[in-house]
């Protein structure tokens, strides 16, 4: 959900204004609160104020890294994009009087830059040239110039959109890129455009020597379904990148009206169900191209690279739903011990394979602090890292980089046939 405020002249006023809006946004929907609930809420807000102040100061410093013609003038407004909050940091949109708009993200943009290189390698033989927006790295994170996306198009252009989406799906599958839900893809001038590729090079979370129960999980992790671009049978609200975003107004209250699919002049979406041949043609073309450029893709991630990647222990939309649940008054009526037990139960039920106590404790603590749980890994290490980027446990049988290279080398004609069948099943059966 979006909240907006004018940016005052002084950073201190900006901090106060911005935090007040965050608090008002969070309290909306809680008209009557008991004393214990207010105490718990106030303690969280006090901690968040310190984190928010540091974050906004970082933004003020980060502005100095924008192009000279922009940073010489103060921004006219700021918008909280309603994205995941991690340790008091979250993406925001700044607008300038000249109409220029830039999003600040408190992280490096290297995953998106890697995806950009991969799409260029795959797209060139197919005559595809994805639109790009300016990305500026800085010590505090990264700046992203906002693309002017027009989702209104014609049926012919919608057909091209789905062909390009098929190529993007093949690329995401090859790069083990996940979390491509409808919040992380937008339609830009008839092209599918990824605006968040944090979950690139996802490693396997299971040991190949474990029980038969892991066979199904291993199969999912190595299929196109793991990209989350395709509808899944257990998601009634369908947050997928190629789905109809039926959950845009669901209980977690964070999703905005969909901008991921092209629309007609009457405002109706062109659904993937009507463009299955184009989608499959694009996937096949992208897949076959990838088979011929494997070495070029591997060169994007050299063996000596040791970059930080975000790990998807569970889908971010699941965490968002739990965060909303944790803010209900009934939850605060539980004792501290019972709160953790209730969270553990929900986490384990969502994915029984994740039972390591250090992971559950970290997830519970982050949720209770008002943050979407976040985990990391280094591309050449086996350890899962917590939000402070410290090791929690040895989690991955293969390093993310090794898992990617083995997966890439395993791509073959029989796998193309299997993944194509999965795409058909997903779009026809679960849309």
Confidence of residue 431 (pLDDT cuts 50, 70, 90): low
Q: Which helix (H) or strand (E) holds 196?
A: none
pLDDT at residue number 115: 96
Instruction: Please classify residue 234 by burial: count the beta carbons closer than 10 Å to its beta carbon, then call 0-12 exposed, 13-18 middle and 19+ buried.
Output: exposed
Delimiting residues of CATH 1.10.1070 domain(s) in the chain: 121-132+147-308+401-430
Cβ atoms of 179 and 309 within 8 Å: the answer is no
Measured in whole angstroms, how far is the alpha carbon of residue 41 from the centre of its chain?
27
Q: Report the alpha-carbon distance of residue 215 to residue 116 in Å, rounded.
A: 32
Averaged pLDDT, 16-35: 48
Q: Tokens 């929690």 appear where?
A: 392
The model carries a pTM of 0.81
Let me know if domain 121-132+147-308+401-430 sits in CATH 1.10.1070: yes
- Tens-digit pLDDT profile for residues 36-53: 444 444 444 444 455 456
Q: Is the pLDDT of residue 266 over 60?
A: no
Q: Which range, of 235-239, 285-289, 310-314, 346-350, averages the lowest pLDDT?
A: 235-239
Name the pLDDT band for 83 (thresholds 50, 70, 90): low
Q: Where are the alpha helices (DSSP H) in 124-255?
A: 155-174, 213-221
Beta strand 3-6 pairing with 77-80: antiparallel
Assess contact for 375 and 391: CB atoms under 8 A.
no
Report the distance separating Cα 96 and Cα 317, nearest Å. 31
Using CA atoms, how far residue 269 sits from 28, 164, 261, 274, in Å, is 31, 17, 6, 10
pLDDT at 309 over 50: yes
> For position 348, what pLDDT does the model report?
80
Looking at the predicted structure, is the pLDDT value of residue 15 above 70?
Answer: no
């Amino acid at each position: 959900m979006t909240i907006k405020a004018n940016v005052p002249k002084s950073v201190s006023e900006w901090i106060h204004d911005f935090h007040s809006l965050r608090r008002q946004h969070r309290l909306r929907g809680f008209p009557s609160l008991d004393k214990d609930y207010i105490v718990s809420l106030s303690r969280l807000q006090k901690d968040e104020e310190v984190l928010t102040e540091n974050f906004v100061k970082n933004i003020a410093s980060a502005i100095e890294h924008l192009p000279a013609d922009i940073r010489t003038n103060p921004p006219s407004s700021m918008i909280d994009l309603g994205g995941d909050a991690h340790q008091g940091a979250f993406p925001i949109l700044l607008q300038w009087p000249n109409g220029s708009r830039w999003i600040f993200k408190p992280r490096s943009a290297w995953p998106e830059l890697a995806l950009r290189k991969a799409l260029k390698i795959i797209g060139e033989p197919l005559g595809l040239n994805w639109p790009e927006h300016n990305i500026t790295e800085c010590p505090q994170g990264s700046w992203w110039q906002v693309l002017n996306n027009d989702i209104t198009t014609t049926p012919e252009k919608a057909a091209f959109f789905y062909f390009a989406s098929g190529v993007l799906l093949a690329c995401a599958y090859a790069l083990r890129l996940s979390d491509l839900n409808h919040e992380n893809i937008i339609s830009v001038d008839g092209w599918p455009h990824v605006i968040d590729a944090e979950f690139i090079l996802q490693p396997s979370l299971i040991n190949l020597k474990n029980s038969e129960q892991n066979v199904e999980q291993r199969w999912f992790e190595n299929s196109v379904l793991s990209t989350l671009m395709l509808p899944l049978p257990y998601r009634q609200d369908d947050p997928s990148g190629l789905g109809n975003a039926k959950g845009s107004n669901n209980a977690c209250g964070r999703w905005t009206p969909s901008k991921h699919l092209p629309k007609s002049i009457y405002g109706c979406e062109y659904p993937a169900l009507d463009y299955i041949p184009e989608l499959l043609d694009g996937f096949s073309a992208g897949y076959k191209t990838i088979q011929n450029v494997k070495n070029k893709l591997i060169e994007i991630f050299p063996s000596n690279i040791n970059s930080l990647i975000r790990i998807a222990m569970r889908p971010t939309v699941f965490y968002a739903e739990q965060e909303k649940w944790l803010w209900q008054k009934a939850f605060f009526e539980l004792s501290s011990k019972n709160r953790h037990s209730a969270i553990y139960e929900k986490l384990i039920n969502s994915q029984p394979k994740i039972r390591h106590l250090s992971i559950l404790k970290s997830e519970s603590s982050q949720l209770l602090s008002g943050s979407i749980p976040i985990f990391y890994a280094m591309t050449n290490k086996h350890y899962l890292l917590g939000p402070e980027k410290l090791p929690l446990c040895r989690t991955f049988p293969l390093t993310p980089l090794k898992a990617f290279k083995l997966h890439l080398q395993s791509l073959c004609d029989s796998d193309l046939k299997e993944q194509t069948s999965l795409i058909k099943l997903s779009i026809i059966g679960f849309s």
